[in-house]
A and B are shown apart, each in its own frame.
Chain A
């Protein structure tokens, strides 16, 4: 908190408005802040455009405030100023939140605004309010304080050279502004008095210090230095505070070497090291086991018997064939699983990321597809380990043969997928892929396509660190959106109870129903309406048909139940559908260092897909709370998702943010009372000391209270003159006696300070009398317009005199303004 000097003159006309340097400070700070809101692939110039827009907005509102007629009543003026202040706050904040919430899904960041984004938007709004409606004194203190925090947090969040440049510009502008204001306030053009010129500039020095630090940290790339990390640790940033976010990258107490994982003797942890990245490589089925629980293992004797008999797969006893606790478990997805012990996410999300992605969010990364369902397990359609259906189309790009022609890449989304700890030969590609590219691999026989739109490397796992670029189409089917096109029909047989259920739910079946995807959308809607997502629900192990149990009896289950049910229902309706497994990234977890969205093992997901008449597989997201890229989601659902979609542990930062906002509001309301109480307590302690003059201590208390009351004693005003004139004698005769006694102590001979008993009595009476409330009641009402009129009066007075007086008047007014 930046405190103003008690002696500061609030009506001093020297620095009534910000000036060019002040507005430049504001604008550069907003430029830095706007960098946070930009999508990763957007040009930094858009931040400049946005900052210019909000700065012009603030300038316009400020001019409106200055032009409020002085003839209006104070109540009316206050109401209008408050309204203008609301205009300075609400539109910028609302624009940011709505942009983040309602933006097209192609905008990186996914649903909703991040906590840092909300905090920065609110802070920027408060900054604009302070600039628009603040007085000369509050403008400086609040603007500097707020912009320093704004710039520092933004610098921590965004790692971009443009931010460094903008931060340096901010530091330069702010320093110039402070220096200019200091010069205007104290140094007159005509040889100022010595006592003024050599006054110690404490506050500017205190203010400029963080600016210098911000400049050093930001502009010189010091954010990775110990100083930068120390500052970042104090910022409420999800990447810098593990108390705020469980998946924070830089955990408190880890130490800089642990986080940086430098190859130095001091390094104590291998967080970012290659060794750590390759030490744990889960497969997709391991992730399923972690997320949904492991399938029940067969009893040892039955298992041994099954192996000994070497029966064909279909003839083995049900439930004994597969147990997916490792990559060797096969490619079967069991719907019968034991309750999972959900682990708390590690704090180092970047290090344990299975993949990291840049590109439009959310995105479904498909890794496996399943076609056959036997009542308990989903199995692949078969080993289609044939040659690749990919063809080289120029550069390093590979395209699926037979894919519908597209006019170049228009309408496609580009994703960069970097494989981390995931061990799989399958390339993690978004749904509806069009092209893929791996650097310097331009031969089709390097790839295999075991299923439609699924590509694998030929015989090897994808090495960690491999970057796969993919162009894919957005869109899909959910409860509210239906893509254009015609679906492919299927004749696959489905259990009878599924057909009965389709009839019961009055879903269209066959014929015209499969002319478009409306029926598929209705399937999703009915599932969402009738069933509830319960990640911890477990289907009974003895149940012969788990999905029937889910759809008919329990109607509660995890995501794979929704996906499997949707697949069966779609088949019953006549669509050619399949189950897909992979990763789902909503963009909420972003590594600040690489600016990439990272996925952990908890991001495994299962969804349905339906084929269209040209052979493309369109994702069908039937699980509530999951969305598809390219489908607009109603804003209320996005806002609701901010609060309800994530588990309670993930909502902690939001609650903490709300708590901080509430605490800030409360502090704004009571901080004066709090400061007054602390000052009074300090006075009580100091007045009892023998080596202090009680009158002096009490005068310090009175001046502090006057500053809190909004009527500080101007530096050029004497104690008596300020008290009698400005405060209108709120304390009565005892206060006057206090001032007189104080003057005697301050200016009289030393002998006048000896009567300590009497001084104690006077001081205590004054401390009781001169309360903040009384001082506030007696403060004069000053406005910028009144100060301007006062300057005009001086000018007019001087100009009516002789020509010499007129010249003198110009000099006086010039010096004053």
Chain B
């Protein structure tokens, strides 16, 4: 029994007075329909979007990465753009460039795909470090500077980058500095047999087409992201998060996660609490999003990362204000 599936009871309502936001619920349901059988991945991706982070999906081709990114864009009324990263991809192919208009005798700015609301950078590790670093500014600063001109990106700009964990030949692994710009790392994973059968049945009957369509507009998305920032987190819990982060840092030995990583971790935990319908963050929320958030920063395989995070959590006392 997972924590997220604990049934709602009158005690919840009495204690919190908050039920899940209808918009979030609808967004979550539609996202599940888009990526059938991957509820956890969908919820984490949604938490990443609401936390104003960026998502790195590390998985094999054909498991629904593009589908997930497209669904996020569609459901939030955002513009979707996709970059298929290759070694010959130039920074201007990402950010855009200035083109000289002979008729108007002036340079005209042609925005790149980075100006979309949801950007899918497929196989991002195949792009050269120069191109990757071009994406860096866009992700962290939400702006692009071309020829001394800074162009602001949208408030809800969201990058979904993918990389193949198997093929490393001819790739340029993302450096730690750039990995730290992502909020979390996900693995979608292969669906089970029943899910695949259901997937094929849905494709045959075009069920997917019927579920397409936005759930909320960009303003509503911005409002939700603002709500995430307002989810309260008590001081003891903040100290708990910091202690666990420092324990991870001690075990890892290379400085990760950074303070920026802890900030992102806190925000994602707030987003998770909002998705779960709570008005406050719990230690379980911190723990639940720890591996996706810390995994991208510790740069470890899944199981070692899980072991390290578990060990770090086992060293820190949960700040239950009574009994222990």
Contact = CB atoms under 8 A, between A and B. Distances in A.
Interface of A: 5-7, 9, 12, 188, 190-196, 199, 696, 699-700, 703-704, 713-721, 724-725, 729, 733-734, 736-738, 740-749, 752, 755, 758-759, 762, 794, 797-798, 801-802, 805, 808-809, 811-812, 815-816
B283 A752 contact: no
A801 B17 CA distance: 47
B93 to A, nearest CB: 33
A734 B315 CA distance: 31
A737 B243 contact: no
Interface in B238-271: 239-240, 243-244, 246-247, 250-253
A193 B243 contact: yes
Contact of B304 (A188, A747, A805): A805
Contacts of B169: none
B1 A729 contact: yes
B198 interface: no
Contacts of A717: 318
B11 A192 contact: no
A703 B324 contact: yes
A716 B280 contact: no
Nearest to B5: A724
A755 B280 CA distance: 17
B303 to A, nearest CB: 5
B15 A752 contact: yes
B216 interface: no
Given A190-B250, A743-B282, A752-B16, A699 B9 contact: no
Nearest to A8: B324
B7, B278, B323 — which one has the most chain A CB atoms within 10 A of its CB?
Answer: B323
Given A7-B324, A196-B243, A703-B324, A744 B303 contact: no
A190 B239 CA distance: 19
Interface string B2-26: 0100110111101111000000000
A568 B285 CA distance: 98
Interface residues of B, number: 53
A762 B11 contact: yes
B9 A740 contact: yes
B237 interface: yes
Contacts of A745: 15
Interface of B: 1, 3, 6-7, 9-12, 14-17, 232-234, 236-237, 239-240, 243-244, 246-247, 250-253, 278-284, 287, 300-301, 303-304, 307-308, 311, 313-318, 320-324
Nearest 5 pairs of A and B residues by beta carbon? A737-B11, A7-B324, A744-B15, A741-B15, A737-B9
20 contacts: A192-B315, A193-B246, A199-B317, A715-B324, A718-B284, A718-B318, A725-B1, A734-B11, A736-B6, A736-B9, A740-B9, A740-B12, A745-B15, A746-B321, A748-B232, A762-B11, A801-B300, A808-B251, A809-B307, A816-B311
A547 B236 CA distance: 92
A747 B232 CA distance: 9
A720 B284 contact: yes
B250 to A, nearest CB: 4
Given A801-B304, A802-B301, 19 more contacts: A6-B323, A9-B314, A700-B322, A715-B317, A718-B283, A720-B284, A729-B1, A736-B9, A746-B320, A747-B234, A747-B236, A747-B281, A752-B17, A752-B280, A797-B307, A808-B253, A808-B300, A809-B307, A815-B251
B279 A721 contact: no
Contact of B314 (A716, A721, A746): A716
Contacts of A801: 300-301, 303-304
Contacts of A700: 322-323
Contacts of A699: 320, 322-323
A724 B234 contact: no
B173 to A, nearest CB: 13
A137 to B, nearest CB: 14
Given A724-B3, A815-B251, A808 B280 contact: no
Contacts of A724: 1, 3, 6
Contacts of A746: 234, 320-322
A415 B159 CA distance: 98
Nearest to A190: B250
Contacts of B313: 716
Contacts of B11: 734, 736-738, 740-741, 762
Contacts of A740: 6, 9, 11-12, 15-16
Contact of A812 (B9, B233, B282, B307): B307
Point out which of B11, B232, B247, B317 has the most chain A C-beta atoms below 10 A from its C-beta. Answer: B11
Contacts of A714: 314
Contacts of B304: 797-798, 801, 805, 808-809
A152 B10 CA distance: 56
B316 to A, nearest CB: 5
Q: With a 10 A CB-CB cut-off, give which of B246, B300, B304 has the most chain A CB atoms.
A: B304
